[in-house]
Amino acid sequence: MGQEGTGTTVALPIRVLRVSIAEWEHFFEVSIKMHDMSAHAAQHHAPPTSFLRKHVFSLDHKVIGKQYYALALLAALCGMVLSWLMRIHLGWTNAAIPGLQLLSKTGAPGGVMTPEYYLQLMTMHGTIMVFFVLTTAPFAAFGNFFLPIQVGAEDMPFPRFNMMSFWVTFLAFVVLMSSFFIGDGPTLGGWTQYAPLNSVGAVGGPGEGMGVILWMISIALFCIGQLLGSLNFITTTLDLRVKGMSLMRLPLTAWAWFITSCMGLTAFAVLMPACILVILDHVAGTSFFVASNLVINDQLQPHSGGSTLLWQHLFWFFGHPEVYIAIVPGIGIVSHILITSMRKQMLSQRVLIYCMGALAVLSYMVYGHHMFVSGMNPFSALAFSFPTLVITIPATIVVLIWVFSLYGSNFRINSASLFALGFISMFVSGGVSGFFLAQPSIDIMLHGTYFVVGHFHMVMGVAAMFGIFAGTYFWFPKMAGRMMNETLGKIHFWLSFVGTYCIFMPFHYLGMAGNIRRYSSFPDDYMQSLIPVHQYITVAALITGAAQLIFLYNLIHSRFWGKPAPDNPWEATSLEWSTATPPPFDNFGGKHPVVYHDPYQYGVRSSVGDYVMQTSPEQVQTEHDEK
């Protein structure tokens, strides 16, 4: 009886798990029936009749997606120019940069950058790239254009919210850039804006008064825009799927945008009130982030009772999920492109979905590893270190699925697939250094050095940028109705791929050599020998940045003079390739598509080739077909 009792005890959790899974499957089946009714009952806006409604204040999700992409492109160019200015200064500290004094007479007298102005440029570079490029392009731009089409909807459920989300985001960008021309320039507190420097006002240095207020207003507005967008994405995914489109028949891109929306809904909801509290510290005399008896520049600050660490907790509770808000859409885009290029399914589409979900959940549990140097209790550091190592497991599974799926495939080489492969390379190379930074004892030594800069630029910045480029080359024919130049695309890839490694791999060497980040010059003797490395990086950065002008030329030239694109140039299977190029106003020309297959029916025999469209009633029996 003892053995029987033991067996019953062990089996009970398994039975509960089976019941739970059955309940969720029943919920999904009910949701399928409900969303079929919701998709047809959704109220959609009429076609635009004026220029402003069609091209400026548009309610069409496709136009809004293009507007987001244009904003991200503008922001990327601004961020790239700022990085050039910083790199030139780091390579040749006393060199005069022609025209820089026109941007700031006090920050660059005679064209020579001051240390304070270097920090101001660094702050703006990081803020622009993280918020207005890495978040805007892969999520808001591509997601807005393609998510409704991929689920078979005519538009977003809340088109006016969608329009507002873009214009609020655009206003946020204008407010941020205005700080260059107001007062003593933008804030110098870095894109993380650590307290108490962000709350003490002008006594903290140039830009710490009005510059901080404008930064906080800009990011608060950006949060509002992202919250509006996230609500639209989640509702579109759950309620507007067409007949036959079960959750597991959604493309991986749709899953990535859905998961990212869930992260954004919680992460930006924390950052926005934090920004408001900083503004109150400036204009209302509150002391949320300034402790008592704080002396700055020999001046006792009129604050009491605040907590400088409170800002770090609020910011990084947003900040680390933000890493995955930038990278998860890239994972979805790259997976989508790789499957199309391999002409076969991934080893497990479901596991990829579960791993993206695991990354989203775990991203909230690891934020404390950014605070190892804040003096936290060693036991708290251990509590954050362990999940930081655990989060590498789903990321590693994703990479292994990609690599082993590529093995033996009939891979088609084009610009989009090359950038997808480049994404994998950057994601792995940058992610490996994260193992070191997950250990508190090692991170304390490396945290303030270029090692961290090299890590997050590769795993978050460049990897996400490669995902954006891959998505652009892949979806441009559908968005613009014309093909991009493949030769220029491949030149762009190789220059970007090699250049990126030339720039950011030496950062890790500089960090291990003790090169402190955020320094605008190298007065210490031990850092003097590192100046040639910085000069090498600067040359590589200038060349790699110039290579992006090839992409810009290709994008603009192809938009107007490129070869007309067929409806399905890549012989892909998801719903966006089943409609006209470019898609009509209601996406499917008044028809409601019906889905019969999962989104990746490749490597099969059919009437059109080695693939079957999701909307094709042709029956192709495969082990992956979702019934």
CA distances from 264 to 34, 44, 239, 429, 457 (A): 26, 25, 19, 26, 21
**pLDDT (tens digit per residue) in 590-602:** 888 999 999 999 9
Q: What is the pLDDT of residues 155-165, one digit of tens each?
A: 999 999 999 99
pLDDT for position 468:
97
pLDDT computed for residue 20 by the predictor: 42
Between CA 18 and CA 107 the distance in angstroms is 65
Confidence of residue 621 (pLDDT cuts 50, 70, 90): low
State pLDDT tens for residues 129-145: 999 999 999 999 999 99
Closest CA to 484 of 495, 497, 494, 471: 471
DSSP 454-486: HHHIIIIIIHHHHHHHHHHHHHHHHHHSBPPPH
| Residue 37 or residue 448, greater confidence | 448
CA distances from 369 to 290, 313, 319, 427 (A): 23, 11, 11, 19
Per-residue pLDDT reduced to its tens digit, 544-568: 999 999 999 999 999 999 999 999 9
- Give the CA angle between residues 438, 442, 446 to the nearest 5°: 100
What mean pLDDT is reported for the chain? 89
Lowest mean pLDDT among 31-35, 511-515, 603-607: 31-35
3-state secondary structure of 296: strand
Per-residue model confidence as pLDDT tens digits over 216-231: 999 999 999 999 999 9
**pLDDT (mean) for 183-203:** 92
Q: Report the pLDDT value the prediction gives residue 67, as an integer from 0 to 100.
A: 97
Please state, as a whole number, how many other Cβ atoms lie within 10 Å of the Cβ of residue 24: 10
pLDDT at res. 44: 62
pLDDT of residue 299: 86
User: Which residues have a Cβ under 8 Å from the Cβ of 251 and sit 6 or more positions away?
Assistant: 150, 332, 336, 574, 599, 600
Q: pTM of this prediction?
A: 0.91
d(CA 535, CA 408): 42
Q: What are the tens digits of pLDDT across the range 503-528?
A: 999 999 999 999 999 999 887 777 88
From the list 179, 139, 220, 167, the residue with the least C-alpha distance to 57 is 167
Contact call for residues 522 and 531 (beta carbons, < 8 A): yes
Q: Is it the case that residue 31 has pLDDT exceeding 70?
A: no
For 527-538, what is the mean pLDDT? 93
Residue 425 burial by Cβ neighbours in a 10 Å radius (0-12, 13-18, 19+): middle
Pick the CATH number of 64-612 from 1.20.210.10, 1.10.3720.10, 2.60.40.10, 3.40.50.720: 1.20.210.10
- What pLDDT score does 589 carry? 85
In DSSP terms, 292 is beta-bridged to none
317-340: pLDDT as tens digits: 999 999 999 999 999 999 999 999
Percent of the chain predicted with pLDDT > 70: 91
Tokens in use for 386? 């362990």
299: β partners: 296
Q: Is the pLDDT of residue 279 over 60?
A: yes
Tell me the average pLDDT across 13-30: 42
Residue burial 88-114, b: 16+ Cβ < 10 Å; e: rest: bbbbebeeebeebbebbeebbeeebbb
Tens of pLDDT, residue by residue over 454-468, are 999 999 999 999 999
Whether the CB-CB separation of 134 and 71 falls below 8 Å is answered with no
Least confident of 298-302, 329-333, 394-398, 487-491: 298-302
Q: Which amino acid is at 103?
A: L
How far, in Å, CA of 62 to CA of 148, rounded? 9
- Residue 113's contacts (CB-CB under 8 Å, 6 or more residues apart) are 85, 89, 97, 100, 107, 121, 520
In terms of pLDDT, which residue wins out, 29 or 219? 219
Q: Are 66 and 479 in contact (CB under 8 A)?
A: yes
Tell me what the mean pLDDT of segment 49-62 comes to: 89
Taking the C-alpha atoms of residue 545 and residue 143, their distance in angstroms, rounded to an integer, is 26
What are 314's strand-pairing partners?
none
Q: Is the pLDDT of residue 42 over 60?
A: no
